[in-house]
Amino acid sequence: MAPQRPPATADGEAASHQARLMGLRLVRSGELTTKAFGERFGLSYAQARRFIIRGGALRRPGPSPFFSSDKEDLLSKYLVVNATIGRGLSQDALSRVCASYLAEL
């Protein structure tokens, strides 16, 4: 289990990321192991490994999401409302509900 970290601030998080990038150089040169990297920066082994594999990238790889988080929340509420008023959620019904939602945007 990773040690507890203090709450992140924008400046503190940027400084922490820069420090991790410097530590990443040590890992790549073989001076630091993944486990030691995780312990030094308060990350679990899996988090440290993911950071190292991604080369310090903050985002998940792949395309950006189609919906913003606000629109995704609205869609989930829309689906719940439609389910409670009796519309089934078969694949066809879900497709129709999503199509009507997109039409209203």
pTM of the predicted structure, to 2 decimals: 0.45
Burial of 23 (0-12, 13-18, 19+ CB in 10 A): buried
Question: What pLDDT does 11 receive?
Answer: 61
Residue recorded with tokens 């190292």: 52
Which token pair is 45? Answer: 């082994």
Crossing angle between the packed helical segments 34-41 and 10-29, to the nearest 10 degrees: 160
Residue recorded with tokens 């998940």: 60
Question: What pLDDT does 2 receive?
Answer: 46
Low-confidence ranges of the chain (pLDDT < 70): 1-12, 58-61, 87-89
Question: What pLDDT does 3 receive?
Answer: 47
Question: What pLDDT does 1 receive?
Answer: 46
